[in-house]
Amino acid sequence: MNTIQDLYQTKINTSAGTAEKKLRGLNSSGTFDNAVTEALNVSKTNTMNKQQKKLWDTCVEAESLFVNKMLKEMRKSIDKGEWLHGGFAEEIFEDMLYDEYSLQVSKNSNLGFAKMLYSELSRRM
């Protein structure tokens, strides 16, 4: 399954190759200025794709914050007895572990929050 990041990377590679082919395909009587203008337009598109990738990464991180909050509340519902409590060090480790769990869930699953946030914010770019 292709992610949005894979699709953007494919688009960037394709558009850069297209600009290069157009510049190489000029004959001696060709219009160099038009080719340079088209290459610059492709460069602007690539910059926009970098911005879109950065926006997507930010949306995934926002989703991970939501998932992290959900996992913390779920963890609070589990009662640990005296036998299983590891102290302050365990609490710190569990917090770091659940932060990583939430980031991986957001990156690898399709909860839809990041996609919805991305579609709303990308309209304003």
Give the integer Cα–Cα distance in Å for 92 and 120.
35
Residues 16-31 have a mean pLDDT of 58
pLDDT of residue 76: 86
Among candidate residues 19, 12, 115, the one with its CA nearest the CA of residue 60:
115
Among candidate residues 48, 50, 45, the one with its CA nearest the CA of residue 17:
45
Tokens 């709303």 correspond to 120
Which whole-number Å values give the CA distances from 91 to 8, 55, 69, 73, in the listed order? 39, 32, 15, 14
Q: Say if pTM beats, i.e. exceeds, 0.85.
A: no
Q: Is 60 exposed, middle or buried (0-12, 13-18, 19+ CB in 10 A)?
A: buried
Residues 11 and 56: beta-carbon distance below 8 Å: no
pLDDT of residue 17: 62
pLDDT of residue 75: 87
Question: Would the pLDDT of 32 be above 70?
Answer: no
Residues 84 and 26: beta-carbon distance below 8 Å: no
End-to-end CA distance of the chain: 27
Question: Would the pLDDT of 38 be above 80?
Answer: no
What is the percentage of the chain residues whose pLDDT exceeds 70?
Answer: 61
Average pLDDT, the chain: 78
- Picking from 45-49, 68-72, 114-118, 121-125, which range would have the lowest pLDDT averaged per residue? 45-49
Question: Would the pLDDT of 60 be above 70?
Answer: yes
Q: Which pLDDT tens digit goes with each residue over 65-81? A: 999 999 999 988 887 77
